[in-house]
Amino acid sequence: MTKLKAHLIDLIKAQGPLAVDQFMSEALSHPQYGYYTTRDPFGRQGDFITAPEISQTFGEMIGLWFGHMWLEMGSPSKFYLAEAGPGRGTLMQDMLRVLKTVPGFLDACNLHLVEISPTLRDIQKEKLAGYTLPTWHDQLNKMLEQMTDAPFFMVGNEFLDALPIKQFEKTNTGWHERLVGLTDNAENLTFSTSFSVTQTPIPDMLDDAEDGAIFESCPAAENITADLSQHLRKFGGIALFIDYGYDRYGTGDTLQALENHQYADVFENPGQADLTAHVNFKKLSDITTNHKAASTAIVTQGAFLKELGIEHRAQQLIQNATEDQKNDIMTAVERLISPDQMGELFKVMAIHDPDLPQPIAGFKP
Rounded to the nearest 10 degrees, the angle between the axes of helix 323-337 and helix 310-317 is 170
**293 and 233 Cβ atoms separated by less than 8 Å:** yes
Q: ω before 31 within 30° of 0 (cis)?
A: no
Sequence-ordered strand ranges (E) for 2-105: 18-19, 79-84
Entry field: residues in the chain? 365
Q: Which CATH number fits domain 3-162+219-250+275-352: 3.50.50.60, 3.40.50.2300, 3.40.50.150, 3.30.2450.30?
A: 3.40.50.150
> Quick one: which H or E segment has residue 113?
strand 109-114
- Cα(148)–Cα(145) distance, integer angstroms: 7
344: left (phi over 0), alpha (psi -120 to 50) or beta: alpha
Closest to 58 (Cα-Cα) out of 364, 357, 317, 359: 317
Alpha-carbon torsion (166, 170, 176, 180), positive or negative:
negative
CA distances from 235 to 152, 253, 293, 352 (A): 7, 37, 11, 10
Q: Which residues pair with 190 in a beta bridge?
A: 181
pTM of the predicted structure, to 2 decimals: 0.93
Digit-by-digit pLDDT tens for the chain (365 residues) are 788 899 999 999 999 999 999 999 999 888 888 787 765 555 444 445 789 999 999 999 999 999 999 999 999 999 999 999 999 999 999 999 999 999 999 999 999 999 988 888 999 999 999 898 899 999 999 999 999 999 999 999 999 999 999 999 999 999 999 999 999 887 889 999 999 999 999 999 898 999 999 999 999 999 999 999 999 999 999 999 999 999 999 999 999 998 876 888 999 888 888 899 999 999 999 999 999 999 999 999 999 999 999 999 999 999 988 999 999 999 999 999 999 999 999 999 999 999 998 899 999 76
